[in-house]
Amino acid sequence: MPDRQTAVATRQPPSRSSTRRRKKGGMWRRGWFIAFLAILAAATLIFHRYVPNSIGNLGSLLDTFLPWVGVAVPILAVAAVVRRSATAGVALLVPALVWGVMFGDLLLPGKGSGGAYDLRVLTHNVDAANPDPKATASDLLGADADVMALEELTAQDLKIYKAAFATKYPYQVSRDTVALWSKYPVVETKSVDVGFAWTRALRAEVSTPEGKVAVYVAHLASVRVGTSGFTSDQRNNTIKALGRAIADEKLAGVIVMGDFNGTANDRSLAPLTAGLRSAQGAAGTGFGFTWPSKFPMARIDHILVRGVTPTKAWVMNPTGSDHRPVVAELRI
């Protein structure tokens, strides 16, 4: 029997080729949990409509922040690099591709590059707690819109905006906390009942050089995220009421502007958005997030149209409100 020294001497170190094979095989054996999370992110994007609202309106909450699911891709990519996992790297291609199909067109160069337009419109929730409405009014004047819609106006701030806009906008109509200013004649106005004790929506006929258009200004009910989930029942009721009014609109050209407290992805906005186009979605570059103003995470302020064509849309810089203004150029 060989002694211990002889036995040790006969052992051979593993060859370089076998070491490389083990390392290569390990790249595919590692990172399965990361790969699972990648496929879960892709499934969330694809099947988000199947997430029910029966539990705390979870489906609508996911719809609201859906583009942010894509943040999982770079985070998991870092984890895959750290783990040196080829399996995770390949799996990450799935959510990246799905996200690109769903939202990539918003980032296409040249989209929303403008062109001839007949009417520039603007909407802004000016914030009842805005510390400097005079500065906000000055910022809005700089946009040189033909028609402006403002929401969440207090009685005191309304006086400030009226004074600031008086020279440039000879036509003005207000209903409680919503108001409209126009360079062109406003020939007919009325309040739109959306189920509140006070008016939060109005309709105005604006007589442009290209013809009349119906302009709606609305501030729908707020939503809350708390221990009971995503509470949006009151907002959903206002959506249905405003949607019925717009569905009955007789004029061919319709512009709906305001703070809807919901994104275009939110299924609950369907009664309102049916038959309408988003100016930002049609002619804007980027996601057009408007809230909160310091670090926008969702587009809840909208310009929706029917019978007119958006040629350009964009979001302005912060004004002192907790929302950012939205502007669109339209061809009638």
Above 80 in pLDDT, residue 277?
yes
pLDDT at 21: 53
Above 80 in pLDDT, residue 65?
yes
For the chain, give the percent of residues with pLDDT over 90: 71
Q: What mean pLDDT is predicted for residues 25-49?
A: 90
Q: How many Cβ atoms are within 10 Å of 194's Cβ, its own excluded?
A: 22
Residue 135's pLDDT band, with cuts at 50, 70 and 90, is very high
Q: Which of 48, 125, 70, 56 is nearest to 300 (CA)?
A: 125
The pLDDT mean for the chain works out to 89
Query: 156-170, 205-219, 243-257, 264-278: lowest mean pLDDT where?
Result: 264-278
25 burial type by CB count under 10 A (0-12 exposed, 13-18 middle, 19+ buried): exposed
Q: Which residue did the predictor score with more confidence, 70 or 232?
A: 70
Per-position DSSP letters for 61-78, written without gaps between them: HHHHTGGGGGGHHHHHHH
Residue 194's pLDDT band, with cuts at 50, 70 and 90, is confident
Does this model's pTM top 0.75? My answer is yes
pLDDT at 225: 61
Q: Are 304 and 121 in contact (CB under 8 A)?
A: no
Residue 112's pLDDT band, with cuts at 50, 70 and 90, is low
Query: 4-13, 98-107, 140-149: lowest mean pLDDT where?
Result: 4-13
Q: Is 240 helix (H, G, I), strand (E, B) or coil?
A: helix
Q: How far apart are CA 89 and CA 74, in angstroms?
A: 11
pLDDT at 48: 94
Dihedral of alpha carbons 76, 82, 87, 90, sign: positive
Residue 56's pLDDT band, with cuts at 50, 70 and 90, is confident
pLDDT at 267: 87
pLDDT at 265: 87
